[in-house]
Structure 1
Amino acid sequence: MKAIVQDRYGSADVLVLDDIDKPVPKAGEVLVRVQVAGLDPSVWHLMTGRPYLVRAAFGLRKPKLRVRGWDFAGHIEEAGAKVTSFKPGDEVFGVGNGSFAEYVCAAEGKVVPKPANVTHEQAAAVPTSGITALQAVRDKGRVEAGQKVLVIGAGGGVGTFAVQLAKAFGAHVTGVCSTSKTDLATSLGADEVIDYTHEDFTEGTRRYDLIIDTAGLRSLSHLRSALTPRGTLVLVGGEGEGRLLGGSGRTFHAAALSPFVRHKLRPMFSVPHKEELDTLSALLENGKVTPVIDRSYPLSEAPEAIRRLQSGHSRGKAVIAIA
């Protein structure tokens, strides 16, 4: 099968379109014929091996996993001997190892049926970013109806989901993004939008019950100044220039500081679960959440898709069309 592979860490130039063996599903796995694969920042981190902290789990000198990509939408090609929920031909979406390929294996518990009213492009954009946003808003943020929620990075992959989810839970949502994305944040249902190139959301009298920071570039003190006295700050991942920890240093700082302040400082690293995929599938089906697709790239142009993701110019999610 065709797949995007890498044998060393580095820029998008290390990615190669190659012919490799088709994977064979284990007893509790399904083999999926990938129609579309989704792209998120974790793909960039595993491609570059930065921050170096990721290499402890994914290979010190080179990636243990050659094929990039996690998210996918497609149809079941083959079901393992112990799989009971799916049969060949079923349309599904979910998370598996190496989705930038014509076929991918995934555990039965990380795959759900694709709603009929959702395209493969839309479904492939959901798993990692949608689950991250759901965990940030519902599980870590514990959002309640009527609360004031600030989403930083409202025009990005996780941010576009976070805005819609916070609205679905009844919050008053303010989105923070660049000038080119303010219209997008408004279209997603944000009650207010702040263009950070012209306005600092910490200046003024507005305070928020929950801040979800998907951008990862602001200091804790800066973010806390915009919270209500007992507000919650959720840090989604973290970006930075440090080669060893990247933006994780801020995450560790928040965890250490949280017990000593009234604010709830909640770092998070998303792990996908079936319950969350089921929840997102239901929200997709009833129209409360609609994935935003920035661009669709053919498999051969996956490196270019990653370069655009890293530039920060994407509006929503990029996807890779494979079939």
Structure 2
Amino acid sequence: MEPPPSQSAARKVALFNHGRLTAGQRVLINGAGGTVGGYAVQLAKDAGAHVITTASPRSREAVASAGDDEIIDHTTTGVTAAVTEPVDIALSLAPVAPAELAALVTLVRPGGVVVNTTVWMPAPGDEERGVRGIDLFVRSDAAQLGKLVALIVGGELRAAVTERAALTELPALHSRAAEGAAHGKVVVVPSAA
């Protein structure tokens, strides 16, 4: 199962409010393999950014279909070795080792930003180079959620609904998700009477 829509709205905040994303910038989305990462890729591409993503082989196709420009298989290649030109924004959606998170700041050009969504590690920054480190936590924002819904309804933002599950199947669904076997959005429907 994927995070609730409020987390998708948070990704939009991460890119535009905190990251100040504009056309022509380079964005690294670390952990783009989930549906929320796919939203971030689509939103960044729509804004005219060059999007670099990290994903595993199992989510490569989903990430590519979201429209990234470059993909790094994080299971075989370190992100710091693969990113050869600085990025303006590094958005970290994946829980990574503290050293890996800290290394993201080295990929960001002076004046850029690292936005981190993992709550147990602070976002790294580099005051000397003017690289901001921002920690982002989920907050509900009805107006932003409404805008995202409008983008989905209008076909401008794709939501990958991969299955529908009855409410009675929720425990099994959670188990599959914990094992990494549930991909895309799952719509939970009332159980048949």
TM-score, normalised relative to structure 2: 0.86
Question: What is the aligned partner in structure 2 of residue 154 from structure 1?
Answer: 32
Where is the helix percentage greater, Structure 1 or Structure 2? 2
Q: 2:9 aligns with which of 131, 145, 150?
A: 131
Match of 1:278 among 110, 125, 146: 146
Partner SS for 1:150: strand
* 1:301 and 2:169 matched: yes
Instruction: Choose which of 228, 231, 235 in structure 1 pairs with 2:109.
Output: 228
Question: Normalized against structure 1, the TM-score is what?
Answer: 0.53
Aligned to 1:116: none
Aligned pairs for 1:1-323 (under 5 A) are: 39-41=1-3, 127-204=5-82, 205-219=84-98, 220-236=101-117, 238=118, 247-248=119-120, 250-251=121-122, 254=123, 258=125, 260-261=127-128, 262-322=130-190
Instruction: Give the superposition deviation at 1:258.
Output: 4.4
Matched residue SS, 2:79: coil
Amino acid at match of 1:270: V
Structure 2 alignment gaps of length 5 or more: none
Alpha-carbon shift at residue 179 of structure 1 (Å) = 0.6
Say which SS state the counterpart of residue 210 (structure 1) adopts: strand
Please give the root-mean-square deviation of Cα atoms over the aligned residues, in Å. 2.1
Higher radius of gyration, 1 or 2: 1
Q: Which runs of 5+ in 1 are unaligned?
A: 1-38, 42-70, 72-126, 239-246
**Percent identical across equivalent pairs?**
31
Task: Give the drift of 1:144.
Answer: 0.7
How far, CA to CA, are the matches of 2:81 and 2:181 in structure 1? 26
